Structure 1
Amino acid sequence: MPSSQAPIGLFYGSSTCYTEMAAEKIRQYIGPQWIDLHNVAEADIALAESYDFLLFGIPTWDYGELQEDWENIWDDLAGLDLSGKTFALFGLGDQEGYPQWFQDALGYLHAQLLACGARAVGYWPAEGYEFEESKGLTEDGSQFVGLALDEENEFDLSEERIGRWCDQVMHEFGLKDGA
């Protein structure tokens, strides 16, 4: 572990590189000095306990399933004490190919992190997306519990969504002014 840790730990799992590329865009947008990147396939998820601010990236696979790297560490994640930590999520999904399960993994991860004692920020409007069902929505269905990206069908919207979400999250983390 580096002696000078960034204020934010970003943990992601990625099979097709889309989630990894989104994580790198987020790090670049916010600034590399702010974020340490951790691929959950290689890094110990227990490192999350050493950050006050956390970002997590998770794609939804097939019929609302966890991506394999997340699935492999799910029990370890459940054992973490994240009390006093603040997190925001971003998820990748395919709203046309899997409209009944769009962003389901986002909802699973959100519930798991709340159960570990962390506080969630970074909720994202559901307006403008076309899908049938999602476990990644807030109770009233108006927002996703994190940034929803669809690199399959709305790649052209990702850059702008990432920028707006990063500004929102940094403000909600209390690390930068603005909204």
Structure 2
Amino acid sequence: MSRIGLFFASSTGNTRRIAKAIKKRYDDDTMADALNVNKASPELVAGYSFLIFGTSTLGGGELPGLSTDCMGGGWEEFLPKLKDVDFTGKTVALFGLGNQDKYPDEFVDAMGEIYHFIVERGAKVVGAWSTEGYEFISSKALVDDEFVGLALDQENQKIQSDSRLNEWLKLIAPEFELPELG
């Protein structure tokens, strides 16, 4: 089994594309295929010591799910299934997508919801990301004036996403024992 589990939920496909871009950078021994949470189980998630979770933020700051046109379900349905998973000893990195122009009051809120859920269950979350270069009003994904993970805006700052992703992967690499990216 690969050492790192990579799970996401996406309503428009943008989060899936970022998850696939992460997976593409690593071999199968290092990282499992990017898997939509609607195809995952709590047992599968629990089997990994290293996890990367990705999510989009919808409308008024909601997690993607059946109510938000996420085919087969999303984090809204999957998080409650993880309520009995002990994340103690697990290292988790988060990435979240949002639209800071259209939804400046809830930019990447869903990433914050996942963060609080897993921290309450013992997870060590790595990969905090600076707010520099973003223009938003508020976010549930802020802790100590940093995002709890990589924040991406594919609608307004898509041109910066690849470089941000590369820098973030370098940032989490020591915690995940990841090889240097070429």
Give the corresponding residue for 1:18. Answer: 14
Give the corresponding residue for 1:117. Answer: 122
Identity percentage over the alignment? Answer: 42
Which of 149, 163, 166 is the matching residue for 1:163?
166
Offset of residue 78 of structure 1? 1.9
Deviating more after overlay: 121-130 vs 77-86: 77-86
Give the corresponding residue for 1:126. Answer: 131
2 CA distance for matches of 1:52 and 1:123?
19
Offset of residue 32 of structure 1? 4.1
Offset of residue 45 of structure 1? 3.3
Q: Provide the alpha-carbon RMSD of the alignment.
A: 1.4
| Number of corresponding residues | 172
Give the corresponding residue for 1:58. Answer: 55
**Normalising to structure 1: TM-score of the pair?**
0.91
Gapped runs of 5+ residues in structure 2? Answer: 66-73
Alignment deviations for residues 130-170 of structure 1 (CA, whole Å, 9 cap, x no partner):
000001011x32x1000001001001000101111111111
2 CA distance for matches of 1:26 and 1:175?
12
1 CA distance for matches of 2:106 and 2:112?
10
Q: Is the 8 A contact 1:107 1:137 kept in 2?
A: yes
2 CA distance for matches of 1:31 and 1:133?
37
Give the secondary-structure state (helix, strand or coil) at the position aligned to 1:66: coil
Letter in 1 for 2:128: Y
1 CA distance for matches of 2:168 and 2:26?
10
**Cα gap change, 1:11 to 1:45, in 2 (>3 Å):** farther
